[in-house]
Chain A
Amino acid sequence: AQKVTQAQTEISVVEKEDVTLDCVYETRDTTYYLFWYKQPPSGELVFLIRRNSFDEQNEISGRYSWNFQKSTSSFNFTITASQVVDSAVYFCALSVDQAGGSYIPTFGRGTSLIVHP
């Protein structure tokens, strides 16, 4: 069975601080994908990034960066110089290559990030 743990229920920072959202996953499969989604206060779920298990290169997109480490089964998300607009709930998800079935991702419970001005 798969599991995704986002241990940080809520994080509160002041604008311009750097913040890291943790995602730890469990799976026995060697082939899988990891995802991050953002849910701003308006409520929609926005896809941010997808990473496969064979690509451990870190990803940077503007102020966002992702650190994938198979050795620790983690796929952490860092926001540099946070802004109020980054306030949202962030979800991490895992999808594994299971033979013989439909591929339903497992979602973490989310981390609520509050960025104060």
Chain B
Amino acid sequence: DAGITQSPRHKVTETGTPVTLRCHQTENHRYMYWYRQDPGHGLRLIHYSYGVKDTDKGEVSDGYSVSRSKTEDFLLTLESATSSQTSVYFCAISESGTYEETQYFGPGTRLLVL
């Protein structure tokens, strides 16, 4: 199994509060991704990173920011959480980000915004 952990695994927060989710990998892979999973929508990419301090937006990036100060850590921040951001968040990694590569996923974080 790919060494990917996410923290916290579950979180309940209130509307308007900031929230940071952490993804940590031990594979030394260059690419890291944040997805959200919602019923009827499958997996949607929020942001991804192709190296330390190198990030780019995905299809649902509004309301989210990311940071990557070390190869192994990729942080997702909700600056001011809204109820529409209630979701399951998955981190994924791939070695070089090429089209042939498999993405491996972390265990997910369930976020409930009240």
Contact = CB atoms under 8 A, between A and B. Distances in A.
A45 interface: yes
Interface size class of A (residues with CB under 8 A): 20 to 34
Interface string A104-117: 11011110000000
Contacts of B60: none
B88 interface: yes
- B: interface residue count bin: 20 to 34
Nearest to A49: B102
B16 to A, nearest CB: 27
B48 A102 contact: yes
A32 interface: yes
B43 interface: yes
Interface string A63-93: 0000000000000000000000000000100
Contact of A43 (B40, B88, B102): B88
A52 B42 contact: no
Contacts of B41: 109
Contacts of A23: none
B107 A104 contact: no
A106 to B, nearest CB: 9
Interface string A93-108: 0011110001111011
A97 B97 CA distance: 11
B103 interface: yes
A102 B31 contact: yes
Interface string B82-111: 000000101000000111111111011010
- Going nearest first, the 9 A-B pairs with the smallest beta carbon separation are A103-B99, A109-B42, A45-B105, A107-B43, A95-B99, A97-B99, A107-B42, A44-B107, A110-B42
Interface of A: 31-33, 35, 37, 43-45, 47, 50, 52, 91, 95-98, 102-105, 107-110
Interface of B: 31, 33, 40-43, 45, 48, 50, 56, 58, 88, 90, 97-105, 107-108, 110
15 contacts: A33-B99, A33-B100, A43-B108, A44-B107, A45-B90, A47-B104, A95-B99, A95-B101, A96-B99, A102-B97, A104-B45, A104-B58, A109-B40, A109-B41, A109-B42
